[in-house]
Amino acid sequence: MAGWTIVKITKLEIEDFGKFHQYQLELSQGFTMIYGANEDGKSTLMAFIRLMFYSNQKSVRDLSNLRKKYLPWGKDTMSGAIELMTDKKLYRIQKSFGATAARDEIDIYCITTGEKLLLPKETEAGEWFFHLDQDAFERSLFIGQPGPVLTYDGKKKDDIAENLKNIETTGDESISAEDVLRRIQEAKEGMVSKRQSSGVLVQSKAREAELFQKIAKMKQTEDDLRLRHEEARDLNRSRDDIKRKKDDLEKQLEKEQEAVEQVLEAKNTLEECRRRSDLQKIQVENEKNILHTKLSMEEEKLTLLKKSEPTAVDKKSVRNYILAGILAAVCGVMGAVMIHKAFLVLLLFSVLSGVLAIGRLRAIERHAKSLHEWQMNISTCSKKILEYREAEEAGKKQELLLKSFEEIQREAEEDLIKKQKIYQFYTEIREDYKSCLRELDVVKQQIFVLLSSFKQPEEGLEELMGEQRVIHERIMEQQEYYDALVLCHEIMQEAADEIRHTYAPKLGQVSGNIFAGLTKQKYQHLLVSKTYDISVLPEGAQYRDGAYFSGGTTDQMYFALRMGILQLLEEKEHKNYFLLLDDSFTAYDESRLELALQYIDLYCKGEEKQVIMFTCHRYLIDLAVEAGILFESKNLRC
């Protein structure tokens, strides 16, 4: 990084340590591979470096007492020096080791300035230079044997954690996971409360259930109503039927009644007729007798008259008188005129004749008249008698007729008696019809009352069903939102957990990058727990525990982790620290090795970096050469 200073080891001087006696090793920047066979003292050198910086061997992993292990045979003290460049200054650390840490003596000089450095009490050199305790040092700059980073027992203060704490977030400290989760939870509970007794969704569902019931009930009610309407219609029809029948019956009964009355009237009339007829008969008889008497009287009279009938002589005399009269008159007049007035006396004669004639004429007339009269009377009488005879005849016929009528009447009256019975029956039926109609009317009334009592319900079926549709849609929406809330809560919880449990998420990111670079694969996010367990998050939601992978991959992961830690430290201190590797790639196959070496090559390129790798594998160096890695190779020799 531009502007960062390098921290590198420039020289190792061992006076006495393990198998080393007066040993010097100069180290430069860049990638240095130090080859030494197994017993050549590689580990010793590593231990020396460690001890130089840290006396106190409270390292969890290292069970053996390093001091005892490396105390040169036959000597009580070990001593040596390291020259270190940091902050562009060269320092020299001289230390002699006693049997215990308390017996150590350390002197630090700043060669550049010539000053002597006095370490604060209880402060290790490493702590002073790197701001790391031994454990942290061993987890970062000083990569010992491959494998999981030293586990953390949770009790001791984790220096790395302390150091890296501030690098955790990108400055969104204002967002508290608790607040966010709480908001989501509250939103959830607003829809479905903890006890599921309230909430928007719960209420909607309750309303839906309520509506469901109401609708079922309403449907029942509507069915009932429909039945009632049908009944009412049927009832109306029946009623109309019966009414028709009753009306017909009424008409029939009326007719019957009329018939009866007719018969009775006929009877009366007939009786009257009889009476009159009888009366008439008697009258006729009487009249006839009277007439007969009269007739014989008249006939007698006529006989008499006939006897005194004027004869022809009488008629002749009249004629004569008239003639005489006329003659006399004529003579008289003529005489009077011609002869003498005395002839007028003849006129008297004529008058006299005239009077006589008239008298005679009158008498004849009278006679004729009387005759005529008597004749008239007689003919009248005869006519009358004829009439009476005819009347008698008619009376006889009438009698016959009357008798037959009376016969019919008798029959009719007999019929009547029969009819009375039927009439009675019909009347009863009519009464039945009437009462039936009355009952029907009562029922009809009841039905009408019932129909009107069907109060228009608060909500009609259509309304309810409309509301049900609306609620259902709303429930779908609400359920979707609720499900999303639940999902969101789950994921947010996981995210919060990740933040909580993942120690320095940035470390995971950084390590992930390194891991990707190391394996030349797609970036995979590494999750590092507080105990430095790693899980990998490949495609897919499930984190895979580090142990899932092969040993080689796991080594790569842990290597990446250490490099990640180193990187973060460097970012914090703005320094490029040296990196000590103690045969970190023993478990790697060839391809991985190549990748690892290329990685380190890249790591060193372009920046001031120092990587010192100890190895007992010759082939590593060969491989590096083949791969065109830029490095310095040294042989370890005691």
Partner 1 sequence: MRAVKILHCADLHLGARLKNLGSRAAKRQQDYMKTLELIVTVCKEEEIQLLLIAGDLFDSSKQSNELLEEVRALFASIPDTYIAVAPGNHDPATVDSCYEKKGFWSDNVIIFSGEMTDHEIPALGVRLWGAGMTEGYSLKSLFHREQSIREAAAYDDEIQIGVLHGDLISAGGRSEYNPVYKEDIRDCGLQYLALGHIHKRSEPEWEGSCCYAYSGSTEGLGFDETGEKGVYIGLVTKSSCSLSFFPVCQRRFVRCEIDISTVTGTKQAAAFVRSFLQVQQGERFERHLYDIKLKGEQKNIWSFDAAAFLAEFDDVFYMKVREQRQLSCDLEQLADEISLRGIFARRMLLIKDKISKDQFETAVQIGLKAMNGRVDYSEDYET
Binding to partner 1 by residue 551, rule CB under 8 A?
A: no
Instruction: State the SS3 of 480-512.
Output: HHHHHHHHHHHHHHHHHHHHHHCCCHHHHHHHH
- State the amino acid at position 160 in one-letter form: I
Can you tell me the distance from the alpha carbon of 531 to that of 503, in angstroms, rounded to the nearest whole number? 9
Pairing mode of beta strands 105-110, 89-97:
antiparallel
Number of residues that bind partner 1 (CB under 8 A): 56
Specify the stretch interacting with partner 1 by CB under 8 A; choose among 27-35, 85-93, 499-507, 585-593. Answer: 499-507
Report yes or no: 139 and 47 within 8 Å, Cβ to Cβ: no
Specify the stretch interacting with partner 1 by CB under 8 A; choose among 60-68, 108-116, 428-436, 455-463. Answer: 455-463
Q: How far is the CB of 45 from partner 1 (least distance, A)?
A: 38
Q: How far is the CB of 454 from partner 1 (least distance, A)?
A: 8
**Chain length of the chain:** 638
Can you tell me the distance from the alpha carbon of 97 to that of 20, in angstroms, rounded to the nearest whole number? 14
Beta bridge partners of 143: 581
Binding to partner 1 by residue 452, rule CB under 8 A?
A: yes
Binding to partner 1 by residue 190, rule CB under 8 A?
A: yes
Q: How far is the CB of 176 from partner 1 (least distance, A)?
A: 9
Binding to partner 1 by residue 224, rule CB under 8 A?
A: no
Pairing mode of beta strands 579-582, 610-615:
parallel
Per CB under 8 A, the list member of 43, 163, 398, 478 interacting with partner 1 is 478
Specify the stretch interacting with partner 1 by CB under 8 A; choose among 184-192, 249-257, 378-386, 511-519. Answer: 184-192
Q: How far is the CB of 443 from partner 1 (least distance, A)?
A: 13
Specify the stretch interacting with partner 1 by CB under 8 A; choose among 22-30, 85-93, 173-181, 609-617. Answer: 173-181
* Closer CB to partner 1, 122 or 462, in the complex: 462
Binding to partner 1 by residue 453, rule CB under 8 A?
A: no
Binding to partner 1 by residue 451, rule CB under 8 A?
A: yes
Binding to partner 1 by residue 479, rule CB under 8 A?
A: no
Report yes or no: 11 and 32 within 8 Å, Cβ to Cβ: no
Q: How far is the CB of 542 from partner 1 (least distance, A)?
A: 9
Question: What are the phi and psi torsion angles at 13 (to 5°)?
Answer: -125, 115
Binding to partner 1 by residue 632, rule CB under 8 A?
A: no
Q: How far is the CB of 453 from partner 1 (least distance, A)?
A: 11
Per CB under 8 A, the list member of 177, 273, 402, 516 interacting with partner 1 is 177
Pairing mode of beta strands 89-97, 78-86:
antiparallel
Q: How far is the CB of 233 from partner 1 (least distance, A)?
A: 6
Per CB under 8 A, the list member of 394, 460, 520, 521 interacting with partner 1 is 460
* Closer CB to partner 1, 261 or 441, in the complex: 441
461: its two tokens: 């079926």
Q: Find how far residue 630's CA is from the centre of its chain.
A: 75
* Closer CB to partner 1, 119 or 486, in the complex: 486
Can you tell me the distance from the alpha carbon of 91 to that of 214, in angstroms, rounded to the nearest whole number? 91
Q: How far is the CB of 582 from partner 1 (least distance, A)?
A: 31
What totals of helices (H) and strands (E) does the chain contain, helices first? 14, 15
Can you tell me the distance from the alpha carbon of 399 to that of 41, in angstroms, rounded to the nearest whole number? 180
Of 312, 291, 313, the C-alpha closest to 384 is 291
* Closer CB to partner 1, 23 or 482, in the complex: 482
Site for partner 1 in 230-259 (CB under 8 A): 232-233, 236
Per CB under 8 A, the list member of 12, 160, 191, 391 interacting with partner 1 is 191
Per CB under 8 A, the list member of 21, 75, 229, 389 interacting with partner 1 is 229
Output the CA–CA distances (angstroms, integers) from residue 212 to 19, 216, 362, 461, in the order listed. Answer: 92, 6, 136, 11
Which helix (H) or strand (E) segment holds residue 544: the answer is strand 544-545
Report yes or no: 587 and 555 within 8 Å, Cβ to Cβ: yes
* Closer CB to partner 1, 122 or 172, in the complex: 172
Report yes or no: 278 and 438 within 8 Å, Cβ to Cβ: no
Longest dimension (CA), the chain: 258
Specify the stretch interacting with partner 1 by CB under 8 A; choose among 29-37, 164-172, 292-300, 345-353. Answer: 164-172
Q: How far is the CB of 599 from partner 1 (least distance, A)?
A: 22
Q: How far is the CB of 434 from partner 1 (least distance, A)?
A: 23
Specify the stretch interacting with partner 1 by CB under 8 A; choose among 72-80, 89-97, 112-120, 162-170. Answer: 162-170
Q: Find how far residue 148's CA is from the centre of its chain.
A: 60
Report yes or no: 545 and 533 within 8 Å, Cβ to Cβ: yes
Site for partner 1 in 413-432 (CB under 8 A): none
Report yes or no: 556 and 518 within 8 Å, Cβ to Cβ: yes
Can you tell me the distance from the alpha carbon of 576 to that of 596, in angstroms, rounded to the nearest whole number? 19
* Closer CB to partner 1, 309 or 480, in the complex: 480
Output 106-109 pairs: Cβ under 8 A, ≥24 positions apart.
106/55
Evaluated on CA atoms 13, 17, 19, 21, the torsion sign reads positive
Binding to partner 1 by residue 488, rule CB under 8 A?
A: yes
Instruction: State the SS3 of 90-101.
Output: EEEEEEEECCCH
Binding to partner 1 by residue 183, rule CB under 8 A?
A: yes
Coil, strand, or helix at residue 581?
strand
Q: How far is the CB of 541 from partner 1 (least distance, A)?
A: 5
Radius of gyration, CA atoms only, the chain: 82
Binding to partner 1 by residue 286, rule CB under 8 A?
A: no
Site for partner 1 in 512-541 (CB under 8 A): 525, 537, 539-541
Report yes or no: 239 and 437 within 8 Å, Cβ to Cβ: yes
Binding to partner 1 by residue 509, rule CB under 8 A?
A: yes
Tokens 């840490």: give the residue: 101
Specify the stretch interacting with partner 1 by CB under 8 A; choose among 239-247, 446-454, 576-584, 590-598. Answer: 446-454
Binding to partner 1 by residue 487, rule CB under 8 A?
A: yes
Binding to partner 1 by residue 405, rule CB under 8 A?
A: no
Can you tell me the distance from the alpha carbon of 400 to that of 405, in angstroms, rounded to the nearest whole number? 9
Q: How far is the CB of 206 from partner 1 (least distance, A)?
A: 16
Q: How far is the CB of 187 from partner 1 (least distance, A)?
A: 5
Give residues in contact with partner 1 (CB under 8 A).
Answer: 168-170, 172, 175, 177, 180, 183-184, 186-187, 190-191, 200, 222, 226, 229, 232-233, 236, 448, 451-452, 456, 459-463, 466-467, 470, 478, 480-485, 487-488, 491-492, 494-496, 498-499, 505-506, 509, 525, 537, 539-541
